[in-house]
Amino acid sequence: MYQRSEDRPRTPRLSLRVAVLGGCAVALFAVLFFRLWSLQVLDGDEYLAEAKNNRSREYKVIAPRGDILDRNGEVLVDNRASLALRLNTSKLPADRAERRAQLTELGGLVGMSLKKVRRTIRESEEKAAGAPVTLRRDVGYDVVYFLEENQREFPGVSVQRVFVRDYPHSSQAAHLLGTVGQVDEKELAERRFRDLEPGDEVGKDGVEEVYDGHLRGMPGFTRIQVNALGQPTPGGTLVNQPPTPGDNLKLTIDAKVQEAGERAISSYGLAGAFVTMDVRSGEILALGSAPTFDPSDLTPPLTQAEADALYNDPSTPLTNRVTDSLYPTGSTFKMITALAALEGGKVTPSDTIEDGGKITVSDQEFTNAGEEAYGTVDLDRALEVSSDIYFYLLGLKMSNSGELQEWAHKLGIGRPTGIDLPGESEGLVPSPEWRNQLFAEGGTERQWSVGDNMQLATGQGDLQTSPLQMAIAYAALGNGGTIVTPHLGLEVEDAAGRPLEELQFEPQRQVRIKQRWREEIMAGLHGAAQGSEGTATDTFGDFPVPIAGKTGTAERPPNGDQAWFAALAPYPNPRIVTIVSLEEGGFGADTAAPVTLKILEAYFGKEAGETSAGEGEAEAGAGAEPGLEQGAVGAE
């Protein structure tokens, strides 16, 4: 007899299978039920908000950075608007062939090869992973129109209006201004950048970096309504929050003096540096380094190859030689030697020696430049003619006392200056302790000797200092003992030019300099610049503003001689100090002094053609003496 399948007796195994399958079905149904309950009841509001957000898009609006101005309000750096082609790489096709085709077509729109597009993407993601990649700036409107008409074919591609740093004076003041660039992952971890996102730009060097918090504005945003395809709907702007521009930064720089210095130093085609500073306040009026560069060349997007071309240039145009490069100073150091010897009682202004052009100490011969013999010299004449023999003997007298090193440190040599620029070098004042320790470590072939101190007394040997450190030392002589804090920041203004904050920089310390010794050294330096036997009289003899100055020629093997000039003007109570140094410039009188002259002419302007010596002294006496009475000069 035939039996239906449902009437047949079930085996225990079949019943078990049915039970298991039924249990699984119930479990799956329960999971589905609870998931639906969770989505609708627990997370319903959240997903509803996300669904509504799918109807809108929000775009960041970059804020323009503040302008950078000179002390007279002349614009040194501002902004210009630019159309930037940007790519969100997460929206590129997953298929390699499709991805390649789209990148090739995209590159063709802006004149970039596929290789360059890929390199730009890779380098951008290495610096700021996840940030939109800027492929090209300053794209034309034809590209904008094409992308608008073919938006579906280029997902993740947009043209955004951005602000790009603009440099009206090209390379002028490049080293002090610095550059801007995309914030990197290391910077994003810093507290000061906690509000930034990958792709945002910050100051990378110079005052752009130091004052980034003032210059960087607050971004705005625009929220628009889009359709199901993600395309903007007509009149679909929902919210428009404009950005807040950054504050303007006014510098202490005088653009005319800066231009004169850069033009003068570049005329020799040599690497070098110059700085002009107010001796009382530390305000820097001009600061330049050669060779220089155009900051716009470092404006992103910048490929690694383009960056390497600048960073690996053997002439090192990116190095700020005013603060970063260290040199022996030659005879410009003799001012410090004279002050140390006078203060230490090793010499008086009236003491004389017979300078026969050379001396021998411990079987080592020391000579004047060209073995020139100057006969009877005292301190004043030794500075005027730059007698090496006179200062070698002073170095010999101070060889066991440490006074020379002590005074060099007091005046700022071999110490950080505190300037509001990143990355300055500290330098070195050689001492017995330093060399003997180096010898013990196997870093040199001999210990300290008296000859080392004699070399230091003339700014030679192992001495390493920067032009800015020398400016601080000479400023201390000029103002009577105040070690100023050199600075470039003057005040912060809002975008409308209204003052917000006056930047304050207190002196670092006071050094007691006897007024008599100051006057004696200043007189010798005045003779060196404008006296009958002065080493720089050929340059400054007819300059109508009285100055005190000193030439320097430093041996720097295997390179040619380093040329220096230090000037304090007007004499005897100066307002400014100027230091010029030229690598392989030969005699300081031949190269560094003429550069200094051009700077002083720009600073004094008409005054250089009208001020008599008497007027210069009277004005300086009225303006500078009060500064000397503020504890700067100790009683004799």
Instruction: Please indicate, yes or no, whether residues 240 and 269 belong to a single structural domain of this protein.
Output: no
Q: How far is CA 64 from CA 73, 200, 320, 329, in A?
A: 19, 12, 27, 43
> Over 80: is that where the pLDDT of 56 sits?
no
Instruction: Please indicate, yes or no, whether residues 326 and 454 belong to a single structural domain of this protein.
Output: yes
Instruction: Please indicate, yes or no, whether residues 261 and 138 belong to a single structural domain of this protein.
Output: no
Helices (H), 280-324: 304-311
Strand ranges of the sheet holding 548-556, from the earlier edge strand across to the other edge: 284-290, 272-278, 576-582, 559-569, 548-556
- pLDDT, one tens digit per residue, over 524-545 is 999 999 999 999 999 999 999 9
Q: Which range has the worst mean pLDDT, 41-55, 141-155, 350-364, 573-587? A: 41-55
Phi/psi for 29 (5° steps) reads -65, -40
> Over 60: is that where the pLDDT of 617 sits?
no
Per-residue model confidence (pLDDT) at position 392: 98
Dist CA 615 CA 31 (whole Å): 97
Per-residue model confidence (pLDDT) at position 526: 98
Segment of 301-305, 334-338, 622-626 carrying the highest mean pLDDT: 334-338
C-beta separation of 468 from 488 below 8 A: no
Dist CA 151 CA 137 (whole Å): 19
Judge whether 10 lies within some domain: no
- For residues 238 and 503, which has the higher predicted lDDT (pLDDT)? 503
Per-residue model confidence (pLDDT) at position 631: 34
**Cβ neighbours, 10 Å, residue 191:** 6
- pLDDT, one tens digit per residue, over 541-552 is 999 999 999 999
The residue-averaged pLDDT of 401-409 equals 97
Phi-psi category of residue 111: left, alpha or beta, with phi > 0 → left and psi -120 to 50 → alpha? left
Which tokens belong to 320? 């700020």
Q: Which range has the worst mean pLDDT, 35-44, 225-234, 299-308? A: 225-234
Per-residue model confidence (pLDDT) at position 304: 64
Q: Quickly state the pLDDT bin for 83 (edges 50, 70, 90).
A: confident
Dist CA 133 CA 136 (whole Å): 9
* Percentage above 90 pLDDT, the chain: 60
Q: Which of 608, 620, 612 is nearest to 257 (CA)?
A: 608
Judge whether 591 lies within some domain: yes
Amino acid identity, position 79? N
Instruction: Please indicate, yes or no, whether residues 217 and 365 belong to a single structural domain of this protein.
Output: no
Write 31-36 long-range contacts (CB < 8 A, 24+): none
Q: Return the CATH number at 191.
A: 3.90.1310.10
Instruction: Please indicate, yes or no, whether residues 283 and 242 belong to a single structural domain of this protein.
Output: no
Q: Which of 478, 242, 460, 446 is nearest to 339 (CA)?
A: 478
Which tokens belong to 461? 């040997």
Instruction: Please indicate, yes or no, whether residues 207 and 65 belong to a single structural domain of this protein.
Output: yes
Strands 75-87 and 68-69, sheet pairing: antiparallel
The residue-averaged pLDDT of 400-416 equals 96
With a CB cutoff of 8 Å and minimum separation 6, the contacts of 286 are 253, 254, 257, 258, 260, 261, 274, 275, 276, 599
> Over 70: is that where the pLDDT of 300 sits?
no
Torsion of CA 395, 325, 178, 565, to 10 degrees: 50
Is the CA virtual torsion 14, 16, 21, 26 positive or negative?
A: positive
Per-residue model confidence (pLDDT) at position 340: 98
- pLDDT, one tens digit per residue, over 117-164 is 888 888 777 766 666 788 877 788 888 778 777 777 787 787 878 888
> Over 50: is that where the pLDDT of 517 sits?
yes
> Over 60: is that where the pLDDT of 50 sits?
no
Please, what is the angle between helix 515-530 and helix 334-343, to 10°?
Answer: 150
Instruction: Please indicate, yes or no, whether residues 326 and 188 belong to a single structural domain of this protein.
Output: no
Q: Quickly state the pLDDT bin for 4 (edges 50, 70, 90).
A: low
Judge whether 3 lies within some domain: no
Instruction: Please indicate, yes or no, whether residues 394 and 509 belong to a single structural domain of this protein.
Output: yes
Q: How far is CA 200 from CA 61, 64, 266, 417, 452, in A?
A: 11, 12, 35, 31, 52
Strands 353-355 and 180-182, sheet pairing: unpaired
The mean pLDDT value of the chain amounts to 86
- pLDDT, one tens digit per residue, over 237-284 is 556 678 889 999 999 999 999 999 999 999 999 999 999 999 999 999
* Percentage above 70 pLDDT, the chain: 84
> Over 90: is that where the pLDDT of 17 sits?
no
Per-residue model confidence (pLDDT) at position 624: 38
Q: Which range has the worst mean pLDDT, 43-57, 82-96, 257-271? A: 43-57
Per-residue model confidence (pLDDT) at position 3: 52
With a CB cutoff of 8 Å and minimum separation 6, the contacts of 291 are 266, 271, 315, 316, 317
Instruction: Please indicate, yes or no, whether residues 242 and 259 belong to a single structural domain of this protein.
Output: no
Instruction: Please indicate, yes or no, whether residues 546 and 592 belong to a single structural domain of this protein.
Output: yes
Instruction: Please indicate, yes or no, whether residues 500 and 434 belong to a single structural domain of this protein.
Output: yes
> Over 50: is that where the pLDDT of 626 sits?
no
> Over 50: is that where the pLDDT of 619 sits?
no
Q: Which of 551, 549, 552, 553 is nearest to 527 (CA)?
A: 549
- pLDDT, one tens digit per residue, over 419-464 is 999 989 999 999 999 999 999 999 999 999 999 999 999 999 999 9
Judge whether 194 lies within some domain: yes
Q: Which of 587, 535, 580 is nearest to 560 (CA)?
A: 587
Q: Which of 244, 253, 325, 240 is nearest to 285 (CA)?
A: 253
Q: Which range has the worst mean pLDDT, 146-150, 199-203, 522-526, 587-591? A: 146-150
Q: Give the residue numbers spanning the domain of 312.
A: 255-634
Per-residue model confidence (pLDDT) at position 634: 35
Instruction: Please indicate, yes or no, whether residues 263 and 209 belong to a single structural domain of this protein.
Output: no
Per-residue model confidence (pLDDT) at position 237: 54
Per-residue model confidence (pLDDT) at position 140: 80
Q: Quickly state the pLDDT bin for 615 (edges 50, 70, 90).
A: very low
Which tokens belong to 374? 């100057």
> Over 90: is that where the pLDDT of 194 sits?
no
- pLDDT, one tens digit per residue, over 571-582 is 999 999 999 999
Dist CA 407 CA 384 (whole Å): 22
Q: Quickly state the pLDDT bin for 632 (edges 50, 70, 90).
A: very low
Phi/psi for 418 (5° steps) reads 85, 10
- For residues 309 and 636, which has the higher predicted lDDT (pLDDT)? 309
Per-residue model confidence (pLDDT) at position 34: 72
Judge whether 38 lies within some domain: no
Judge whether 103 lies within some domain: yes
Q: Return the CATH number at 591.
A: 3.40.710.10
Judge whether 16 lies within some domain: no
Which tokens belong to 281? 């306040």
Judge whether 54 lies within some domain: no
Split into its structural domains, the chain has a count of 2
Per-residue model confidence (pLDDT) at position 625: 36
Which tokens belong to 557? 């093997």
